Amino acid sequence: MDFDELNISGELKQRTKELGFETLTYIQEKTMKHILEGRDVVGQAETGSGKTIAFALPLAEKVVPGNGLQVLVLTPTRELCVQVTDVFRDFGRAKRLNAISIYGGVGIEPQISSLKKAEVAVGTPGRILDHINRGTIRLSGVRFLVLDETDRMLDMGFIDDVEKIIRETPKDRQTLMFSATISYDIEGIMKRHLKDPVIIHTQSQVDPRKLKQYYYDIYYQRDKFSLLVHLLRNKTSGLAIVFCATKDETSAVARNLRKNGINAMEIHGGMTQNKREYSLDMLKKEKIDVLVATDVAARGLDIKNVTHVYNYDVPKTAKDYIHRIGRTARAGESGEAVTLLTSRDHDNFRRINREEDLGIVQADMPHFQKVHFERGERQFNTRRRFGNRNNRSGPRQNFRKSRR
């Protein structure tokens, strides 16, 4: 189905052409007609499926310019908040709609001023609740409520805030909910707050025929970074995301990659919002080759042209692993997900393979040059620190999923 076939105004159809959109994705085709008809909708869809456009375009059609705040979108992270706002602004330009981002970590006064003339507010639950408590946002005129990446919001502990915000909106609103998974808690929200919703399920946007998954079983912890440098230099053809477990590790890996001539930047929760947005923008514009990230970038961000995902640290669950590798092999393109496995990662890796049959295969260890790793301001020789036999990871193990 093409965008031209949608029951929207000519000015919005023209805007979709200007933005380069022609054919609807599955989630767009299945949800947009119901949203335009005024139905409550639940869409189970991964990031990259086109879900933001699925709700932003029909809501841009239904919003009345100059009638105050009519759309409230709740998102789990600041990055997704900005991304969704940008989509509303792209389409809203055709109708001169004002869309604003509401999130913490920045001054609240500019948000208070912008809310006075906004028809669309996209925000994180904590900051939206802050505005409610201050009396600086009025939700009595909200006709459309969107819960985006609902499962992620609940994972982050926002369920109470989300419930409080929902209760502040009119009961006769239209409610749209999008989530990668439908858990017991999400079903509870559906039963309490949605009216006879249309439920749309989509398949994962990661094509298993296009995605190759490997792991390297690294004997010495000291060799992990050296192997990463080798793979980025010799085995990575396009953009790459390297996932680390902590913000300190993220910064250290990114800094050392730059010291080794690899064009890398980092993103994690300890950075200012401007720096986080700058790192993402540099990757999206392909002005850097590698983004080193904590899981803040694993959910809700649509980053195109990523050919490789590296798990420098193994995540704790199969769910987190799947969200990470979902950054590549999208829209029919091929990709690779590579896990760098050392002794401290064994437990998490076993758990992931027990939870899901993911088909991760072991790769042969290549020959690679050893490089130094500088942690903080103190540089140390990893060969000297980790070179004794007491630091070996133990007997070799097969990490394929057990059938027992």
Q: For residues 183 and 151, what is the distance between their CA atoms, to the nearest angstrom? A: 7
At residue 278 the predicted structure's pLDDT band, cuts being 50, 70 and 90, is: confident
The pLDDT value recorded for residue 365 is: 95
Q: Are 208 and 359 in contact (CB under 8 A)?
A: yes
Quick check: 380 pLDDT over 50?
no
DSSP-derived letter for residue 262 is -
Q: For residues 343 and 326, what is the distance between their CA atoms, to the nearest angstrom? A: 25
Average pLDDT over residues 364-389: 66
Q: Are 288 and 260 in contact (CB under 8 A)?
A: no
Biggest CA–CA distance in the chain, Å, is 71
Q: What pLDDT digit, counting tens, does each position of 196-246 carry?
A: 999 998 765 455 667 899 999 999 999 999 999 999 999 998 899 999 999
**What are the residues whose beta carbons fall under 8 Å from the beta carbon of 286, sequence distance 6 or more?**
239, 305
- Specify the range with the lowest mean pLDDT, choosing from 48-52, 122-126, 397-401: 397-401
Q: For residues 144 and 178, what is the distance between their CA atoms, to the nearest angstrom? A: 14
Nearest to 208 by CA among 297, 328, 317, 306: 328
- pTM for the whole structure: 0.70
How big is the CA angle at 87 (ends 140 and 297), to the nearest 5 degrees? 100
Q: Are 122 and 101 in contact (CB under 8 A)?
A: yes
Average pLDDT over residues 120-144: 97
Average pLDDT over residues 55-77: 96
Of residues 190 and 204, more confidence is placed in 190
Quick check: 333 pLDDT over 90?
no
Nearest to 217 by CA among 310, 337, 341: 341
The pLDDT value recorded for residue 208 is: 61
The pLDDT value recorded for residue 222 is: 92
Tokens of 78: 């600041």
DSSP, residue by residue, 140-157: TT--EEEE-SHHHHHHTT
The pLDDT value recorded for residue 401 is: 39
At residue 331 the predicted structure's pLDDT band, cuts being 50, 70 and 90, is: low
Q: Are 75 and 148 in contact (CB under 8 A)?
A: yes
R_g over Cα of the chain: 23
Q: Are 299 and 129 in contact (CB under 8 A)?
A: no
Quick check: 168 pLDDT over 50?
yes
**What are the residues whose beta carbons fall under 8 Å from the beta carbon of 72, sequence distance 6 or more?**
121, 123, 128, 139, 142, 144, 145, 146, 165, 169
Provide the pairing of β-strand 373-375 with 378-380.
antiparallel
Average pLDDT over residues 74-85: 92
Quick check: 403 pLDDT over 60?
no
At residue 330 the predicted structure's pLDDT band, cuts being 50, 70 and 90, is: low
Ordered by where they begin, the domains of the chain are 3-201 (3.40.50.300), 211-391 (3.40.50.300)
**What are the residues whose beta carbons fall under 8 Å from the beta carbon of 294, sequence distance 6 or more?**
243, 244, 245, 246, 247, 250, 267, 268, 269
DSSP, residue by residue, 57-77: HHHHHHPPTTS---EEEE-SS
